[in-house]
Each structure stands twice: as C-alpha cells, then as structure tokens.
Amino acid sequence: MALDSAAIARYWTCMVRRGKPKGIWRILRPVALVMAVLVAIPVVLTPVYLFVDPLSVPMLARTLSGRPVDREWRDLADISDRLKASVILSEDGQFCRHWGVDFGALRDEVQNFMAGEDARGASTITMQVARNLFLWNGQSVVRKALEVPLALYIDLVLPKRRIMEIYLNIAEWGPEGQFGVAAGARRAFGIAPQNLDWRTATLLVTALPNPLLRQPARPSAGMLRIAAIIEGRVIEYGARADCVGENGRLSL
C-alpha cells in the first residue's frame, strides 16, 4: 500500500517536537550549563595553583574597577615563622589537624544559627582561601555552604604549606589595596615579611579581621591587648603550627 506523504510529514514533525526541550527544561538547561561552568572553575584551577600564584576575587574586582592593587608575592620560606604561627593560632588553631573544615566549630555555628544567635565565624584558613579565590565577601548562608566542599577539595589537592602560602599572599592587609603580607608589612612598618619580630608580626595579625580600619602601625589599646594574647598562645602552643614550617618545624 502506498505511503501517505501527509502522514509521513506529520510523523517527522512529531518526532522533531519530541526532541526539543519543553517547558521547564528550556529554562533549566542554560542554568545547568552555567552551574557546570562555575563548578569546573575551582575544579580545574585548584591543581593549577600548585604551580601558579593566584589572584583573589577582591584583587580582580579592584583591578577591573581601576583601583590600585599592591601585591608582591613571597614564598613561604621568605615569611617570618612568628607570623605564620600567629596567623594559625589566631585564625585557625586546628589548621594542621583538620581537612580544610573544622566540623566541630561548624556544627556549633549551625546550632547557633538555628537558635537565632549571632554568627561567630567558624571559617578555617582553607575556607577563607576558598572564598577569596572563588566566591564573594559578605555574610551569606549560601556562600558558607559553598565554602565547605571547596575547602575540602582544596585541602585534598594542595599541601598545607601551599595553602598557607596562598593565604598569606592574597589576604587583604591594608585600606588602599594592599594584599599579601609583603605589602602589609611594608605599609605598616616599612620592613620585609621575613624580618617581622613578635610585636610587628602579632600586630599585623590583629588587622586581618578588618584591615580597612585597623592600623598595625598605630595600634589601639585593644589591638595591643589582642597581640599580647596571640603571642602568648604561640609561645605555649606553637607546635600546632609546625606543619607550615621548614622540615615540619617552625623556628620561633
């Protein structure tokens, strides 16, 4: 029996329509593509940062907006051990022990959030590296949730010494676009980061929570008090930071 040409045309039209995404899929497909690209960026770049010195998102934002960026990369061996230990004992005392995330502190933070209490942080140094390299600043539950898997991945791929080296070279350390400890130490004290003594090292660390307002060269009474506390912690618990020292030991 001869095939009806109109029936054949209707058949192929139906098949073509079935192959097209309909309704919600027309919206979800580009969204899924964007999400895949966003996931691929840290997955691909993190291994590259084993060898390439990265720029942070805040540094890129300042550059694109025409504002100055002052950053001079320093290898970890060219940074004072006292500063390294002071950063760890102040920012993340379990840095050498956890896998990028301090789950005990994070659990307490979630409980505080669910109870309606003020957030206290719980960001590890690795989580701060993840945020500065791949995310955005500002309080956000979504951002905090993204930091966790990123930090775990970064800790899996990069050794502790490299994570600390990146952190010390991308942390914002001054109000005029100073990034990294070399720019921060030069602006505050006019010295190189390998020449920091206890006073200058601990005062630099006190500026990290708010480098736009806290001036290590003109410390407030509160900054001096915090610096003394940090020095005491390092003297007592400095061995907790040995993972970033040469041959597994810091010279304090």
Split the chain (252 residues) into runs of 10 and give each run's mean pLDDT: 55 54 66 70 94 96 95 96 96 94 80 61 89 87 89 97 98 94 96 95 94 92 96 94 91 84
Q: Where are the domains of the chain?
A: 1-48, 49-248
Distance CA 124, CA 70 (A): 25
Largest separation between any pair of C-alpha atoms in the chain: 99
Which two three-digit tokens encode residue 197?
A: 């003594």
| Model confidence, pTM | 0.85
- How many helices (H) does the chain have, and how many strands (E)? 11, 0
Q: 49-248 sits in which CATH class? A: mainly alpha
**pLDDT score of 83:** 97
Residue with tokens 């509160």: 222
Amino acid at 166: I
**pLDDT score of 1:** 44
8 Å CB contact between 56 and 179:
yes
Distance CA 186, CA 192 (A): 6
Which residues 6+ apart lie within 8 Å of 96 measured at CB?
88, 160, 240, 241, 242, 243, 244
